[in-house]
Amino acid sequence: MKKILFSLCVLISTHFAMAQAPQGFSYQAVARDNTGNPKANTSLVVKFSILNGTPQGSVLYAETHQAQSNAYGLFTLTIGQGQANSGTFFSAIDWSGQKYLKVEIDGQLSSTTPLLSVPYALYADKTNLKAGAGIGVNGNEISNTGDLSSTNEIQSLSISGANLSISGGNSVVLPAPPAYAAGNGIGITNGTINNTGDLSTTNELQQLTLSGTRLSLSNGGGNVTLPNTGQWRDTTGLRKGVYYDGPIVAGLKAAFTNDASIIIGQDNIDPTKNLVGLFTRRFNNRNTDLQLYAYPDELSVTSYLRGITMLYSPSSNNGLQFTAANGDLRFTTGGFANEIYERMRVDLNGNIGIGTSTPAAKLQVANGDIYIQDVSRGVIMKSPDGSCWRMTVNNTGTPVFNKIPCPN
């Protein structure tokens, strides 16, 4: 690649005003090629850098110009008005001490020369201080020529009758206070406002008492008669709260009269005797019920219900679902007074264990047998071709397989 050389004729100048030095100074040069001919009518990229102290000093400021030479290769720029490099500011240059101007054209170093006296008017501008009102300037010393006292502006207020005065200033007459009139329960004496009504902090306190079904409020608060279908009682000395001698009914539209303990619902319900608890909810004009029954062991009860406790869902198409969301579903016998024995478990994988708490298959039986009493029944298995076979045994204990329709 042919290297382009530049022959520079530099003119640097600044112009001063009485109030402030301009933020920039002119730079003029002629660009020539390596044969010495001017680079006429050529676009140039010119970069200026202000260096501190030496030709290799730190960069105080750098900027880039897009220049255009004329027919003689001459171009003129103003240093301080180019595109400043990030983080540098022409107005922030400290012009004290020696400074150098580094020039690069189209990415090639052109020259690094010291700056002489002309741009140092910018430094003089920073020190051209003038004294304003109350300020004195003597060489490099700036003084306050005004009020130096720290106390002569301090004033004090005083009042005499209706006159409010400030020391070293004026006084004003305060307006007369409004005339207040005492209303009910209020007294005014020599400007003092007093409560002439009820000053007791306890005489409004009242107490509730319950006698039978009559609930009374002290201090003339009256009384009411509670319904006699049961009675709420304080359980002080037993447990915190109250209990009720009778069925607890909530949300029913009709009166309820039977032996149930807790009835919660929102429809006309007439459950039979022996009902311990009923929970019902109406949704889309259909009831969903859950009933808990406890049947006594007596002849008046149907034989298959005697002495049992039953959880019952009478609503059609709803079924009864048992769910253990985060653990196994366990079925046990025993009681709180005796040891509880686990009889069956359904784990989170759907495995069922009888006699084991860790079933490893869909059905696992431990510590016991599976007894099929009906001789015509057995175990149904499906063969690879999709057929179903029932396994039974003959009188000699030999397995017998009979092909049957697969269960639906």
The Cβ of residue 353 has, within 10 Å, a number of other Cβ atoms equal to 22
The secondary element (H helix, E strand) that includes residue 185 is none
Is residue 386 scored above 50 in pLDDT?
A: yes
HEC string for 208-271: EEEECCEEEECCCCEEEECCCCCCEEECCCCCCCEEECCCEEECCCCCCCCCCCEEECCCCCCC
Q: In Å, how far from its chain's centre is CA 373?
A: 65
Taking CA atoms, 203 is separated from 207, 215, 217, 225, in Å, by 12, 21, 14, 26
- 277 or 378: which leads in pLDDT: 378
149 CB-contact burial (10 Å; exposed 0-12 / middle 13-18 / buried 19+): exposed
pLDDT at 117: 58
pLDDT attached to residue 266? 42
CA torsion angle 200 201 204 206 (round to 10):
-130
- Tokens read off for 223: 């009384």
- Cα torsion for 361, 376, 383, 397, to the nearest 10°? 80
- Residue 274 predicted with pLDDT over 70: no
Q: How far apart are CA 288 and CA 184, in angstroms?
A: 62
- Checking if the pLDDT of 333 tops 70, the result is yes
Residue-wise burial string across 21-43, b where 16 or more C-beta atoms lie within 10 A, e elsewhere: bbebbbbebbbbbeeeebbeebe
200 in helix, strand or coil?
A: coil
Which residue ranges does the chain devote to CATH 2.60.40? 11-127
Average pLDDT (200-225) is: 84
pLDDT beyond 90 at 192: no
For residue 138, the SS3 value is: strand
pTM for the predicted model, two decimal places: 0.36
Please give the class, per CATH, of domain 11-127.
mainly beta
Sign of torsion over alpha carbons 93, 95, 98, 102: positive
Residue 272 to residue 259: CA distance in whole angstroms: 8
How far apart, in whole angstroms, are the C-alpha atoms of residue 346 and residue 329? 5
Whether 53 shows a pLDDT value over 50: the answer reads yes
Of the given ranges (37-51, 128-142, 152-166, 328-342), which has the lowest mean pLDDT?
A: 128-142
Distance of CA 256 to the CA centre of its chain: 49
The pLDDT value given to residue 12: 44
Asked whether residue 85 carries a pLDDT value surpassing 70, the answer given is yes
State residue 264's pLDDT score: 54
Q: Which residue has the higher pLDDT, 405 or 290?
A: 405
Radius of gyration from C-alpha coordinates of the chain = 54
8 A C-beta contact, residue 266 and residue 281: yes
Query: Residue holding tokens 């206070």?
Result: 177
Considering 31-35, 151-155, 266-270, 379-383, the range whose residues carry the highest mean pLDDT is 379-383
